[in-house]
Amino acid sequence: MTTIRDLLERGRTLSFEFFPPKTHEAQSKLRATVDLLEKAEPDFVSVTYGAGGTTRETTRETVLDFIEHRSFPAMPHLTCVGHSYAEVVDLIDDYRAHGVHNMLALAGDPPEDGSPNPGDFRYALELVKALRQHSDMSIGVAAFPEVHPRSPSRETDRRHLAEKLDAADFGITQFFFDPADYFAMMEDLAAIGCDTPVLPGVIPVINPASVRRFADMNGTAVDEGLWSRLEAAADADERLEIAVDATVRQIDELLEGGAPGIHIYTLNQADATVRICERIEIR
């Protein structure tokens, strides 16, 4: 049984995030991507979950396929939105029966039409507590270096985050570009007595338009200098090289500053992540 809790106690970790494929074609493409990324020997990977259970089956299939056929542990994400307590307990039992020992517990985003969340859980912390009660899984939670967009203030954001991290085993951040934001969050947490490890999440900007869209949704400041260089690139190869360079520099700074590992948002693509892993010294 490999838990991320144990891996982090042993040293720095390298992990990759994927989303579950929607079609057979996308499934084959993900397999080819993972064939390439497996060579970087990730300590674990994670698979996202559509809030409201929209990818309940595909997240499960992707995670179980990794567990059966790959050399690394796979961690499903799970969100509160729309789920009853009984549904969540069923899901936990099913994952445990299939050898899943790690879970990322998230709130998910509430329905866009403003209707109230129909589920039994509101905040991620409630999901963490249910997981603790019904399993011995290692539990991860989300962290936002630049403060969660729904938080009324930095102070309340950090307080709720510290409480959630205290109940969990580790955190993984939303992507960000300035290492100073990560270090400031870790200092804020330490100042209120929270020392749970938090893995910085980084994203190679291979698609500037869509990364900017996600960044706007999450209140993440984009590195305008990087965007200008990406927009001025002559072709996709040059853009890839610029994105890889920027991510490698960011990772080097994070590791030098004491980050307990690196989580890469792969967007189910191999090229950038393979090149990044060739250039970083994580172990």
Interaction mask 27-56, ligand FAD, x per CB under 6 A = ---------------------xx-x-----
| Residues 56/24, Cβ–Cβ less than 8 Å | no
Rg (CA), the chain: 18
Q: Which is nearer to ligand FAD, 134 or 148 (CB)?
A: 148
Kindly give the interhelix angle for 236-256 and 224-232, rounded to the nearest 10 degrees: 150
Q: How far is the CB of 273 from ligand FAD (least distance, A)?
A: 16
Token pair of 5 as six digits: 């809790």
Q: Which is nearer to ligand FAD, 47 or 242 (CB)?
A: 47
E strand or H helix at 102 = strand 102-106
| Residues 271/8, Cβ–Cβ less than 8 Å | no
Question: What is the tally of helices (H) and strands (E) in the chain?
Answer: 11, 8
Residue 212 near ligand FAD by CB under 6 A: no
Residue type at 48 in one-letter notation: T
Choice from 30, 100, 103, 106 touching ligand FAD (CB under 6 A): 106
Q: How far is the CB of 175 from ligand FAD (least distance, A)?
A: 8
| Residues 33/62, Cβ–Cβ less than 8 Å | no
Q: Which is nearer to ligand FAD, 162 or 277 (CB)?
A: 162
Residue 174 near ligand FAD by CB under 6 A: yes
Which is nearest to 101 in space by CA: 208, 4, 25, 170?
4
Residue 109 near ligand FAD by CB under 6 A: yes
| Residues 102/73, Cβ–Cβ less than 8 Å | yes
Residue 22 near ligand FAD by CB under 6 A: no
Choice from 20, 21, 53, 201 touching ligand FAD (CB under 6 A): 201
Residue 15 near ligand FAD by CB under 6 A: no
Active site residue 231: no
| Residue 79 bridge partners (DSSP) | 106
Residues involved in catalysis: 17
- Contact positions toward ligand FAD, by CB under 6 A? 48-49, 51, 77, 79, 106-109, 123-125, 142, 148, 150-151, 156-157, 160, 164, 172-174, 201
